[in-house]
């Protein structure tokens, strides 16, 4: 299970990779912006350096003649058109990159939020685990105490059983001795009675 720090670092690395992958577009856009600014500055400079003078009407070329624009003017116009075209492409690329950057930023924000939620949940689970561990420890101590008490009761029961058996043996022994004494006493008394009866015959 990844931690919130690992998720955050992975999101940062993904953002860095995305930005590095789009770096050529950033550089191209910057270069095109610089070229457009230079072209506009040159155009303004040319406009300022060419004063407007009133002179004779321009000579109309004869019919059938072909008008040829200066090569430099055509080159500047083509360059400006190409720059505008490249600038439009760069702006579209910029919009796409900005959208992707927003998506990555949103994903990063969601990852950070999810990481915070996961960290809070981990903290709650840690507290719950600690509470359960304490309860388990208390229950183990309680079970050990009850097991010791049960063992003590068992030992006491065994001891009392042995004492009871010994007492029963002693009772049986005393009973037997008592019976023997009674028998001997009865035998003695019978002998004495017989002796007295024999003696009374001679009187």
Written as tens digits, the pLDDT of the chain (203 aa) is 556 666 667 777 777 776 666 666 667 667 776 777 777 777 766 666 654 444 444 444 444 444 444 444 446 677 777 777 877 787 888 888 888 888 888 888 888 888 889 889 999 999 999 999 999 999 999 999 999 999 999 999 999 999 999 999 999 999 999 999 999 999 888 888 888 887 776 65
Q: Tell me, what DSSP letter sits at residue 46? A: H
Between CA 189 and CA 182 the distance in angstroms is 10
Residue 131 lies inside a defined structural domain of this protein: yes
Give the predicted TM-score (pTM) of the model.
Answer: 0.37
Residue 22 lies inside a defined structural domain of this protein: yes
Residue 179 lies inside a defined structural domain of this protein: no
Between CA 147 and CA 140 the distance in angstroms is 10
Residue 64 lies inside a defined structural domain of this protein: no
Between CA 52 and CA 31 the distance in angstroms is 34
Residue 114 lies inside a defined structural domain of this protein: yes
Residue 166 lies inside a defined structural domain of this protein: no
- Residue pair 100/22 in contact (Cβ under 8 Å)? The answer is yes
What phi and psi values does residue 158 have, to the nearest 5 degrees? Answer: -60, -45
Residue 177 lies inside a defined structural domain of this protein: no
The count of structural domains within the chain is 1
Range of the domain at 35: 4-46+71-150
Residue 12 lies inside a defined structural domain of this protein: yes
The torsion defined by the Cα of 80, 86, 90 and 96, in degrees rounded to 10, comes to 140
Q: What local confidence, expressed as pLDDT, does residue 66 receive?
A: 43
């Amino acid at each position: 299970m990844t931690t919130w720090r690992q998720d955050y670092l992975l999101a940062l690395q993904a953002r860095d990779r995305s930005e590095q992958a789009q770096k050529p577009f950033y550089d191209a856009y910057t270069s095109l912006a610089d070229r457009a600014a230079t072209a506009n500055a040159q155009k303004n400079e040319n406009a300022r350096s060419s004063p407007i003078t009133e002179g004779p009407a321009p000579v109309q070329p004869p019919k059938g003649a072909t008008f040829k624009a200066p090569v430099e003017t055509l080159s500047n116009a083509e360059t400006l058109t190409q720059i505008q075209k490249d600038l439009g492409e760069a702006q579209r690329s910029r919009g796409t990159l900005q959208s992707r950057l927003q998506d990555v930023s949103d994903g990063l924000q969601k990852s950070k939020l999810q990481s915070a939620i996961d960290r809070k949940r981990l903290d709650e689970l840690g507290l719950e685990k600690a509470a359960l561990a304490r309860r388990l420890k208390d229950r183990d101590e309680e079970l050990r105490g009850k097991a010791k008490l049960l063992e003590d009761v068992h030992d006491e029961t065994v001891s009392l059983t042995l004492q009871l058996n010994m007492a029963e043996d002693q009772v049986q022994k005393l009973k037997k001795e008592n019976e023997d004494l009674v028998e001997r006493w009865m035998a003695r008394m019978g002998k004495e009675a017989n002796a007295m009866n024999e003696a009374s015959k001679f009187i």
